[in-house]
Structure 1
Amino acid sequence: MRMKTFRAATSTAAFAKVKADLGEDAVILSNKTVTEDGCKCCEIVAAVDSTPARTAPARSRDGVIDDALQESVGWQREWSQIRNQLLQLMKPQMDLNTLSPKQKLALEYLEREDVDEKVLAKIYCELRDDGTRSIVPVLDDMVEARSMLEDRPSKFHAFAGPGGAGKTTSLVRLALREKKANPKARICLATADGGRGKGRLVLKHYAELSGLAFREIITRDDFDLLQKEAAQFDVIFLDLPGLPGKTSLKEWTQLYGMSECRDMDIHLVLNPYYSQRQLGRFIEKYKSEQLASVIWTKLDEACTFGAILNMAFASGLPVSALSYGPGLKNSIVPATHEKIWRLLFMRKLPNGDIQP
């Protein structure tokens, strides 16, 4: 057994050192905050089995299953290719002339909005047997709209997503909106970016201006402390960092002890101009039982809005908020079906502006 101690400014950085030095099979033995040269840092003790294998170990039932699952990755890739080919073959069979003129027009419009072929095929199958059926109820069944704070009364609301998606801006906008609606609400803004990004300064600035509490999470101990303080607040908005490399949201939240917090919802922040392939990667990277919704941002910068429908179909996640415009006030609203469909079919932003 090879054991080694790693230190870094944040748990994420220390965890990255563990992976780089000991590999994916390393076992975390301890994760704590220590003081080095007068500054707090994270110390992780990890170990990996360095004993060379002399004989091939007997394959247990679990080992056989694990091997089979690993081998299935190739089959999944092949099946994905076959499925796409089947969809291509099926598309000519989607005779839009079997639909009513209004249904046909709606389906053609969605295709121009970059709605994925699998989604179009699903909609077509729902419509073809009833020429009088409107497309809106079909879409209502495919996309759920859910208010973040009203329908999900959790104490912690964390914002995750790729860098540049607008996590920090969405957090500030929602915090200011909640403060305006409930002036007596006890709101805390927290950042877990380890002081590396400008998001920390933005959150701290607006917390001071608006009389909100502010906390920094550098190590697991800091989050434990915030959980103990949670009773002081009505809601805690937590800004998560962009995840490096192959680190998944599940791995990151486990490292910081957040995966054990039963009073936390995580919201995935995305822009409509991500490609379908990118959205697929995000679904895998940010897969988590705590993932509660998608927040769509930078709507005023998008050319098409089909990604909203594609993501809902692929992930099953509801849409909780719609964010737009450069300002921080009055620039984010709870998602509703009406606002989503006005955006998709009329290109009308929640403030009434028409997106060219």
Structure 2
Amino acid sequence: MQVKTFSGASSQEVLAQIKAELGADAVILSNRTYRKNGELCHEIMAGVERPAQQGGAGMPVSAGAAPAPSSGAGWSEWHKDWMRVKEQLFMLMKPAIRMERLTPRQRVALEYLQREGVSDGVSIALYNMLAARPGASVLESLAGIVPIRSWGAAAWPQRVHLFAGPYGNGKTTAALRCALRLRKEKPEMQIAFINTDCLRGNGRLTLRHWAELSDFGYLEAADAESMRKALALTAEADAVFIDTPGMTPERNLAQWQHEMGIDEQPHATHLVMCPFYDGVQMQALLHRYAADGDTSLVWTKLDEAVCYGALVNVAHEARLPISAISYGPELKQSLSPATEPMIWRLIFKRQLPIQSGE
């Protein structure tokens, strides 16, 4: 590890020196403040690993987003180091946040979001937006952090839709709920399901049962050849929903799509998440399920959550729009296409659509 001590008149100045010389992968080892000749000085010791082959070393990144490693190897250790860097950066940046620059309404909203579990990165980003525009609406500023692209045929015209996410998140039922919502919007639509999660008996039987009850086509594809045949057999369908298996650290979603030949098809990917993961786990999952092209977030099990800061954190981290939210055990009347008023009521009032009559 290359270690060096930097000093300057302010912590921001020192961090800029570290970033310029050691790059964004630098780890803060220690920091202290002292007086020299009556003037305040800031000193930070930082270090960085210098592998023999390090493509793209030293490329700048923002404090809220980590650069993605080129492969899954070493992801866990790399991610832990990056989280330590972020924690140190935010610790140094927090004293610079002057809440008195905000209006009382803005200050109350920001403090509420912090209590709801919104991350330091989001808090700082929101504070900068509000401080730059005195009197700006908190909701308008949040809209730039939490994009919305409501589920429906107009916003999501792709014919093939992949539903991906960890086991136990309600991925299969979310796909069924979205398909039923699409059928409600356009009763004449021909919809088919391709199940690639063939090893789990319970989910497999549930999907097949409800697909038959709803007059959806149902096929299974365990490998690339059977996927090719399934896509050919569903060529006449207006919409095809693909239920994907859970991914492992050894094989992420992008690799699986390539292996199955799906990346050759125009498609949209919908990442199904529930708000019960901590920050480290959520970032690891976002890395594992990263997809190319049009992608959205579908939130499930919201009726079981006690706060909803995770919706803001993940939207900010992944830069993905929320398309739908799901709540309750029933298959019908338990999914709503996302809208800004709905998301704000959920975050600030903890009010689900079923409670507000939507």
TM-score range, shorter chain: 0.7 to 0.9
- 1:122 aligns to 2:116 (yes or no): no
The 5 Å alignment of 1:35-114 reads 64=53, 78=81, 80-114=83-117
Q: Is the 8 A contact 1:268 1:291 kept in 2?
A: no
Could you say which residue in structure 2 is the equivalent of 1:273? Answer: 276
CA drift of 1:250 comes to 1.2
TM-score by length of 2: 0.76
Describe the shift of the 1:72–1:323 C-alpha distance in structure 2 as closer, same or farther (beyond 3 A). closer
Runs of 5+ consecutive residues of structure 1 not aligned to the other structure: 1-62
Could you say which residue in structure 1 is the equivalent of 2:299? Answer: 296
Could you say which residue in structure 1 is the equivalent of 2:205? Answer: 201
The one-letter code matched in structure 2 to 1:100 is T
CA drift of 1:66 comes to 5.4
Q: Is the 8 A contact 2:249 2:288 kept in 1?
A: no
CA drift of 1:83 comes to 3.4
The one-letter code matched in structure 1 to 2:241 is F
Structure-1 separation of matches of 2:329 and 2:81: 43
Could you say which residue in structure 1 is the equivalent of 2:157? Answer: 153
Structure-2 separation of matches of 1:101 and 1:80: 32
SS in 2 for 1:158: strand
Q: Is the 8 A contact 1:126 1:138 kept in 2?
A: yes
Could you say which residue in structure 2 is the equivalent of 1:42? Answer: none
SS in 2 for 1:232: coil
Describe the shift of the 1:216–1:342 C-alpha distance in structure 2 as closer, same or farther (beyond 3 A). same
Could you say which residue in structure 1 is the equivalent of 2:309? Answer: 306
SS in 1 for 2:200: coil
User: What's the CA shift string for 1:279-324, capped at 9, x where partnerless?
Assistant: 1101111112145111000110011111111011111011111111
Could you say which residue in structure 2 is the equivalent of 1:141? Answer: 144
Structure-1 separation of matches of 2:126 and 2:249: 36
Moved more, 69-78 or 108-117: 69-78
TM-score by length of 1: 0.76
RMSD: 2.4
CA drift of 1:272 comes to 1.4
Moved more, 139-148 or 221-230: 221-230
CA drift of 1:159 comes to 0.6
Percentage of matched positions with identical amino acids: 38
Runs of 5+ consecutive residues of structure 2 not aligned to the other structure: 1-51, 58-68
Structure-2 separation of matches of 1:252 and 1:197: 21
SS in 2 for 1:198: helix
SS in 2 for 1:150: coil
- 1:220 aligns to 2:224 (yes or no): yes
SS in 1 for 2:144: helix
Could you say which residue in structure 2 is the equivalent of 1:325? Answer: 328
User: What's the CA shift string for 1:67-117, capped at 9, x where partnerless?
Assistant: 978899888865653332121122122121221110110001000110000
Q: Number of residues paired by the alignment? A: 291
Q: List 4+ stretches of structure 1 deviating above 4 A.
A: 63-80
The one-letter code matched in structure 1 to 2:335 is I
Structure-1 separation of matches of 2:250 and 2:286: 13
Describe the shift of the 1:75–1:194 C-alpha distance in structure 2 as closer, same or farther (beyond 3 A). closer
Describe the shift of the 1:75–1:326 C-alpha distance in structure 2 as closer, same or farther (beyond 3 A). closer
Could you say which residue in structure 1 is the equivalent of 2:237? Answer: 233
Could you say which residue in structure 1 is the equivalent of 2:191? Answer: 187
Moved more, 73-82 or 221-230: 73-82
Q: Is the 8 A contact 1:169 1:328 kept in 2?
A: yes
Describe the shift of the 1:320–1:115 C-alpha distance in structure 2 as closer, same or farther (beyond 3 A). same
CA drift of 1:150 comes to 2.1
Describe the shift of the 1:198–1:77 C-alpha distance in structure 2 as closer, same or farther (beyond 3 A). closer
Q: Is the 8 A contact 1:185 1:234 kept in 2?
A: yes
Structure-1 separation of matches of 2:156 and 2:171: 19
Structure-2 separation of matches of 1:72 and 1:190: 33
Q: Is the 8 A contact 2:247 2:289 kept in 1?
A: no
Structure-1 separation of matches of 2:135 and 2:171: 42
Moved more, 159-168 or 139-148: 139-148
Structure-2 separation of matches of 1:237 and 1:76: 33
Could you say which residue in structure 2 is the equivalent of 1:49? Answer: none
